[in-house]
Structure 1
Amino acid sequence: MYSIGHLFMGGDVRINSSGRSLFASSSIEEMLIEGLNGQVDTAFLLGSDVRFAIIRDSTLHCEVRDGGNAASSQKTKSTAKRQNSLSFHNVSMNVLVPDMLAHFAELTFFNSSIRNVQRCQRPSVNYLRNDLILKFVNTTVEAVESYAFSNISAHILNLTSCVIGKMNRFAAAGALLDRIHIINTDVQTIEEQLLAEARIKSFEVIGGRVGHIFPQAFMGAHVDEMMIASSHINVLDKYAFMGSRIHSLRISKTNVNNVRHRPFEHSQVRTSMQP
């Protein structure tokens, strides 16, 4: 166990197989890592109490082991509001694991790439804090797996100038989100019941480009206010909003190439369409 004020790892760093207990139970005020390249167990970050961490100019292959034990410790830590943060700048990584969302109060990805957001292995456990701020800027995410953000409780989810590939069904099932902001971002597909039983106060899409919104994509979603502006949707499929409850939906300056059979059928949506 260590108490470290400032930790810097620089130069040509390669961690082919990181020790899971390297900083176990340690307290680190600031951590800066540059040029990290190799295979890293997620416990390298999650096993210690880090207040501010920045990883940049790195390529990571993350591995997860003993997920159940990690979840138990993170559930305990997440009961109190925290102000720690982790930022990735110019980082390429194979997965984003859900435990990172429980461990840090703010996560930022800038000019980075993520192969996929991993499926949460404990979708029935609501251990994620409602003070979480999650930001993606100029970042590519190839796929968001089913239940990746299951039961997430967050203040802000922001995607700006990003490219998102496949958003799988139930990816954010049961989520509680204060605000979602999607700005100048491309999304390839939004699959069925993406937001099943999710509750969202504000959902804004500005300058978005969506390839295909599947049938029942918003089924089960509860949204107070939803706005789509200056956006482009290639395919809005039949019954896309079936089973959803949206108190206020405003669509303006948005083009939809292909609107299939009754996308708002069997929904409770108050719409306001503007040219």
Structure 2
Amino acid sequence: MNGTVTVIEKGAVRVHSYMAPDDSLNVTTQLIETPARIVAVDAQYALGYADEVVAYAKGLGKPIDRLIVTHAHPDHFHGAARFGAPVHALPAVRDQIVAQGDAQDPTGTLVPVTDVTPTVEISPGTEVIDGVPFVFEALTGGEAADELVIRLPEQGVLVAQDLVYHATHLFLGNNDIDGWQRALDALAADTSYDTILAGHGLPATPAVYTELRGYLAAARELLGDDGEAYKKAILERYPSYGGPFLIDIGNQYLFGAQGA
């Protein structure tokens, strides 16, 4: 297996957190295993890694009930068709995916937008899936314009996805550090969750909030008008972090070709 799987036992639920290798941005798919089914969250960037996640899920011997796409960044929905399950998302996220049109995965394989467009709308609130309450919350601003957060209150699991990165460089292309800090403060204020599932990186504890606040403060300090200078500075500040290519992608949004 190319990716890294972390399994967390939470009573009636087991979480299988699949992190892709560094060459695919350490993007993470969550497989939430309930007594009789699997709820998948986010679908990988490279189709080959999506296939690896699906093969692992099939090995659990339970059907994939649905795939939930938390936000409209390609690294979280390119592999959606590979899961063979209904794709759920917030209406705003669905519309943002449709607006992007057809794309390619990192290997150049075509990803038709019709194959990955969510077909089931998620409404904020609580849905009981296979006896397990899932609380869906829509947030705006931060790493992406619109993001879905999923809470499993009985298990103390928070599926934060791209509002939380763990030991991985941040994508700042949305240019909303203030919004990201506000979102982190809101998540951290609820201390009833001891397991935080990241959209890039391995599962974390609530200590990750302090780490992220520090990184965002460093980014605010170091960001100027030169993408290459910022990349050099943030790599020196966080030399052990994975996913340095995420800095390049963010720089393309922030600075254009100069920061690529």
Per the normalisation by structure 1, the TM-score is: 0.24
Between Structure 1 and Structure 2, the one with more strand by share is 1
Between Structure 1 and Structure 2, the one with more helix by share is 2
Per the normalisation by structure 2, the TM-score is: 0.24
